[in-house]
């Protein structure tokens, strides 16, 4: 059974309910957790299926949790990901942010170097990304601050702080250690492709009925 659920502060319940109603034309379940918290749940909604099962991009956090190749060119850092031709172009030249009216699957990234740490602020998400296969999501007002800290030539720690008052009661943080792959001269980043006729999402929804 595919279940998309979110717990919110009671004073924010009406706002979140309006957002979730767009994902659940067949209705949703509401449950009181305690005096201050309400849980909303959708069963079998197509948009509750993980992005990658629908051949869609992973978004900033999930992409950075996978294998990436870093490229540095003047004014930019580019992350090439092994999943679905996924890549991020991160300006580090101080250019202004995109207008708030432009919403993107990967958001709008702006980076800067703080010593050996690349700090990236991500805004302008479209609210359709999923943080996990379980359907955890962000709204289009979420703000993510990522920190790629290179401790030596072979080790990097990825940290992300997620701030989304429309979904979460407080900011929260993840941290993932990374080790450089030992490359041979013949190695290259291969694509984990999604293909025409992909059936994962349909099977998940069928099993949820």
pLDDT at residue 74, as a whole number: 95
CA distances (Å), origin 46, targets 66, 128, 136: 24, 12, 14
pLDDT at residue 4, as a whole number: 65
Beta bridge partners of 120: 111, 146
**Residue 134 pLDDT > 70:** no
When pLDDT is cut at 50, 70 and 90, the band that residue 152 belongs to is very high
| Average confidence (pLDDT) over 9-19 | 81
Q: Report the range of poorest mean pLDDT among 12-16, 151-155, 162-166.
A: 12-16
| Average confidence (pLDDT) over 158-177 | 92
pLDDT at residue 81, as a whole number: 79
**Digit-coded pLDDT (tens) for 23-78:** 665 567 888 999 889 887 776 555 556 666 667 777 777 776 667 788 999 999 99
Which residue has better confidence, 179 or 190?
179
**Residue 154 pLDDT > 50:** yes
Distance CA 117, CA 44 (A): 41
Q: What is the DSSP string of 77-136?
A: EEEEESBTT-EEEEE-S-PPPPPTT--BSS-EEEEEEETTEEEEEEE-B-S--BSSTT--
When pLDDT is cut at 50, 70 and 90, the band that residue 1 belongs to is very low
User: How many Cβ atoms from other residues are within 10 Å of residue 162's Cβ?
Assistant: 21
**Digit-coded pLDDT (tens) for 86-126:** 788 999 999 999 999 999 888 999 999 999 999 999 999 98
């Amino acid at each position: 059974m595919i279940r998309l659920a979110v717990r919110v502060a009671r004073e924010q319940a009406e706002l979140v309910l309006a957002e979730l109603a767009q994902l659940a034309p067949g209705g949703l379940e509401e449950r009181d957790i305690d005096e201050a918290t309400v849980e909303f749940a959708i069963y079998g909604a197509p948009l509750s299926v993980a992005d990658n099962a629908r051949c869609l991009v992973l978004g900033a956090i999930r992409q950075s949790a996978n294998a990436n190749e870093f490229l540095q060119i003047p004014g930019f850092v580019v992350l090439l990901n092994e999943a679905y031709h996924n890549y991020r172009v991160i300006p580090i030249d101080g250019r202004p942010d995109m207008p708030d009216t432009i919403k993107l699957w990967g958001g709008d990234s702006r980076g800067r170097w703080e010593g050996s740490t690349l700090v990236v602020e991500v805004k302008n998400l479209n609210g359709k990304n999923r943080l996990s296969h379980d359907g955890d999501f962000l709204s289009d007002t979420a703000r993510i601050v990522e920190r790629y800290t290179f401790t030596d030539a072979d080790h990097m720690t990825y940290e992300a702080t997620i701030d989304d008052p429309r979904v979460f009661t407080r900011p929260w943080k993840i941290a993932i250690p990374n080790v450089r792959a030992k490359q041979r001269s013949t190695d290259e980043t291969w694509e984990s492709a999604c293909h025409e006729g992909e059936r994962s999402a349909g099977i998940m929804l069928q099993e949820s009925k």
